[in-house]
Chains A and B, each alone.
Chain A
Amino acid sequence: MSTNEEAEGRPLASYRTLDIAVAIFFLVVCAIVVVDSLRIGISWKANEGPQPGLFPFYMAMAMGIASLVNLYKALPHSDEGAETAVNSVGLGRMAAIFVPAVIFVLATHFIGIYVSATIYIGAFMVFFGKFPLWKAATVSLGIAIVNFLMFEVWFLVPLPKGPLEAALGY
């Protein structure tokens, strides 16, 4: 796995780091659930059975204990744990789809899902697929229009729309 490190870029995080981070994430979730369960009651009521907080409370407890074990297992340095989990090239590639995805979702709030999807798909094709602009524009427009027809016109499922659709009467 770790043979071609040079080719795969600078290491960013080891499995150990990630394991610790995820275990801590679990512990935070556990704390939130426990606090709220205590608020709504975790006891066994006569004639009624458990109160609403009982199940989440014990589930959170089990999760907390398991995560502590996971944390404890992850803490000591080991060869396995020191292996690179994420490197700069991999992260860069993931960012290449994820960061635009975040922008795409953000843009949906303002210009509607169809327009922002057209830009998202088109831009991705041009920058990462090295497609010529006209091909990217055709494909992305095509996908958006097919989906528009499918959802808005045929199946009448309303999706977020922006000023362009409004101008077209939708």
Chain B
Amino acid sequence: MVRRGMSKIQGVAAALAASACLASPALAQGWEPVKPVTLIIPAGTGGGADQMARFIQGVVQKHNLMKQPLIVINKGGGAGAEGFLEMKASANDPHKIAITLSNLFTTPLGTGSPFNWKDMKPVAMLALDQFVLWVNSETPYKTAKDYVEAVKAGTDRQFKMGGTGSKQEDQIVTAAVELQTDGKKFTYVPYAGGGQVAVQLVGKHVDSTVNNPIEAVAQWRAGQLRPLCIFDAKRSTYTAKVTDKEAWGDIPTCKESGLPVEYQMLRGIFTTKNATPAQVAFYVDLMKKIVATPEWHEFMEKGAFNQTFLSGADYEKWVTEAQSLHADLMKKAGFLATQ
């Protein structure tokens, strides 16, 4: 309570200073946004990044974590290039942050769009999103092994894999799975959003998907989809029952089911390139507060996220490694831009 009182007084001071248009040096000890902060989602509505961003907005406002409002906008055009280019173009505006998914790496590599993560300043990694191999629950495949055997036994391109976007994370995972199927390829069908992909699988328009947990959990609980394996090194740590019988932790890893493929996706926050250390520190602090809320824990569990929080040099190191990993994976799959 005391802390809250303090911050209110500071807020009044900041507002007074701003309205009297004094470039006041009195606030030098910390930076705070002086106008609404825009959170850019480089993806369309309804997907995993979109849900997380809107959730963050809700948590920030519910707990009053920031005095200025947080505005969330989708800029998913051009596989997210639209959003990233906006971040690049507003290098001097510290009131913009972006939530990223793997298209931070895949879009510039796959399309030749002129940006990379170094055009932004890393703030914090909030979590890693999992990928799960899903099939329709009316199909006979009970394990990943069953499914892979069926793919091997079928004709080339007989099995259809649905995913979000083209040459992005879903297709990269698909390409990695294809390395284990004796040269049999999937027909990869790109859709606009993760929610749509899950519904297409329920409607049997595709044979399998690699949806993120949160994109397909509703259909799993309704008994329409069946998870075969999770693309992580270890099983999920969430053991609360999600359906009548199963928990996220009951889904075997793909490796233990004979499909040695691992892939996880960054859910992280970046701000604009010329942000000062004080500005970055503000956002890191904000993210720490968000991650500490009970709502956040519930959200993480619902989506079976891998909760790893990184900031500063650790985060930068992780991003650098992920960049080279994606470059490597995409080169192998032949997804690099040809221009």
Say if A and B assemble together.
Answer: yes
- Say whether A1 faces chain B, with CB atoms less than 8 Å apart: no
Give the size category of B's interface with A. 10 to 19
- A16-53 interface code vs B (CB 8 A; 1 in, 0 out): 00000000000000000000000000000001000000
Closest beta carbon of chain B to A133's beta carbon, Å: 29
Give the size category of A's interface with B. under 10
**B21: chain A residues within 8 A (beta carbon):** 167-169
| Contact B187 A170, beta carbon cutoff 8 Å | no
Question: Residue of B at shortest CB range from A161?
Answer: B35
B170-190 residues with Cβ-Cβ distance < 8 A to A are: 187
- Say whether A158 faces chain B, with CB atoms less than 8 Å apart: yes
- Say whether A94 faces chain B, with CB atoms less than 8 Å apart: no
| Contact A158 B36, beta carbon cutoff 8 Å | yes
Question: Residue of B at shortest CB range from A169?
Answer: B18
| Contact B36 A47, beta carbon cutoff 8 Å | no
State which of A47, A156, A167, A169 has its C-beta within 8 Å of the C-beta of B69: A156
Q: Give bound CA distance, A47 to B189, whole Å.
A: 11
| Contact B187 A47, beta carbon cutoff 8 Å | yes
Q: Give bound CA distance, A140 to B221, whole Å.
A: 57
- B1-42 interface code vs A (CB 8 A; 1 in, 0 out): 000000000000000001101000000000000111010000
Question: Residue of A at shortest CB range from B95?
Answer: A158
- Say whether B89 faces chain A, with CB atoms less than 8 Å apart: no
Closest beta carbon of chain A to B22's beta carbon, Å: 10
Question: Residue of A at shortest CB range from B36?
Answer: A156
B125-173 residues with Cβ-Cβ distance < 8 A to A are: 157
Known contacts A168-B21, A169-B19; decide if A158 and B38 are in contact (CB<8 Å): yes
State which of A47, A158, A168 has its C-beta within 8 Å of the C-beta of B157: A47
Question: Residue of A at shortest CB range from B18?
Answer: A169
**A167: chain B residues within 8 A (beta carbon):** 21
- Say whether B286 faces chain A, with CB atoms less than 8 Å apart: no
Question: Residue of B at shortest CB range from A47?
Answer: B157
B245-270 residues with Cβ-Cβ distance < 8 A to A are: none
| Contact A156 B71, beta carbon cutoff 8 Å | yes
Q: Give bound CA distance, A169 to B35, whole Å.
A: 8
Question: Residue of B at shortest CB range from A168?
Answer: B21
Known contacts A47-B187, A156-B69, A156-B71; decide if A170 and B35 are in contact (CB<8 Å): yes
**B38: chain A residues within 8 A (beta carbon):** 158
**A168: chain B residues within 8 A (beta carbon):** 19, 21
Q: Give bound CA distance, A47 to B159, whole Å.
A: 12
| Contact B36 A169, beta carbon cutoff 8 Å | no
**B36: chain A residues within 8 A (beta carbon):** 156, 158
A148-170 residues with Cβ-Cβ distance < 8 A to B are: 156, 158, 167-170
| Contact B34 A169, beta carbon cutoff 8 Å | yes
Closest beta carbon of chain A to B174's beta carbon, Å: 15
Q: Give bound CA distance, A168 to B19, whole Å.
A: 6
Q: Give bound CA distance, A47 to B19, whole Å.
A: 63
B44-89 residues with Cβ-Cβ distance < 8 A to A are: 69, 71
Q: Give bound CA distance, A168 to B187, whole Å.
A: 57
**B19: chain A residues within 8 A (beta carbon):** 168-169
Q: Give bound CA distance, A170 to B35, whole Å.
A: 7
**A47: chain B residues within 8 A (beta carbon):** 157, 187
Q: Give bound CA distance, A156 to B69, whole Å.
A: 8
**A170: chain B residues within 8 A (beta carbon):** 35
**B69: chain A residues within 8 A (beta carbon):** 156
**B157: chain A residues within 8 A (beta carbon):** 47
Q: Give bound CA distance, A170 to B187, whole Å.
A: 51
**A158: chain B residues within 8 A (beta carbon):** 35-36, 38, 71
Q: Give bound CA distance, A170 to B34, whole Å.
A: 8
**A169: chain B residues within 8 A (beta carbon):** 18-19, 21, 34
The winner among A167, A168, A169 for most chain B CB atoms within 10 A is A169
Residues of B at the A interface (CB closer than 8 Å) are 18-19, 21, 34-36, 38, 69, 71, 157, 187
Residues of A at the B interface (CB closer than 8 Å) are 47, 156, 158, 167-170
A-B contact pairs, 14 of them (CB 8 A): A47-B187, A156-B36, A156-B69, A158-B35, A158-B36, A158-B38, A158-B71, A167-B21, A168-B19, A168-B21, A169-B19, A169-B21, A169-B34, A170-B35
Q: A158-B35, A168-B19 are in contact. List 15 more A-B contacts (CB 8 A).
A: A47-B157, A47-B187, A156-B36, A156-B69, A156-B71, A158-B36, A158-B38, A158-B71, A167-B21, A168-B21, A169-B18, A169-B19, A169-B21, A169-B34, A170-B35
